[in-house]
């Protein structure tokens, strides 16, 4: 559930940033959607794996949320940089696109979305939440 929340918050945040600034998140001619999609897929996978590893421990710490957020944002940035490098064969363009992600706020949006979703996922684990049940589904002894 936290991974879906991260993806939803990230897509909403990036969309809101794009509307607020009136520019594309990745604004380089001829790149297409591959760098953005590959960066987001990598970010979701890393977020899910690191959060899963964190909550698998007996007592997950909320201090892990900033680490998860930072790793997610860095992997997104590195994946976009690499995808642009493969698409253009130009290190300068790849670095400029990555720099625009940081300066334009997209990396901050992903960092915040990952931090909020990671905190929520850890909170769900720490509270030992269970599937909701109707009153008639409960045992008489409860």
Name the token pair of 11: 């897509």
78/35 Cα distance (integer angstroms): 10
The predicted pLDDT at position 63 comes to 87
Write the CB contacts of 24 (distance below 8 Å, at least 6 apart in sequence): 18
Rounded Cα distance, 79 and 98, in Å: 9
Cα atoms found within 13 Å of the Cα of residue 102, Cβ hemisphere only: 11
Distance of alpha carbon 70 from the chain centroid: 9
pLDDT tens-digit readout, 16-65: 999 999 988 888 888 888 999 999 999 999 999 999 999 888 777 888 99
Read off the tokens for 108. 């901050």
More confident residue, 10 or 123: 10
């Amino acid at each position: 559930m936290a991974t879906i929340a991260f993806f939803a918050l990230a897509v909403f945040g990036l969309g809101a940033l794009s509307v607020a600034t009136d520019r594309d998140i990745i604004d380089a001619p001829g790149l297409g959607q591959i760098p953005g999609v590959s960066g987001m897929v990598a970010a979701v996978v890393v977020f899910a794996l690191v959060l899963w590893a964190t909550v698998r421990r007996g007592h997950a710490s909320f201090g892990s949320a900033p680490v998860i957020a930072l790793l997610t944002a860095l992997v997104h940035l590195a994946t976009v940089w690499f995808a642009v490098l493969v698409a253009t064969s130009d290190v300068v363009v790849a670095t400029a696109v990555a720099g625009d992600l940081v300066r334009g706020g997209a990396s901050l949006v992903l960092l915040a979305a990952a931090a909020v979703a990671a905190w929520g996922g850890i909170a769900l684990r720490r509270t030992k939440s269970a599937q909701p049940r109707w009153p008639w589904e409960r045992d008489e002894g409860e």
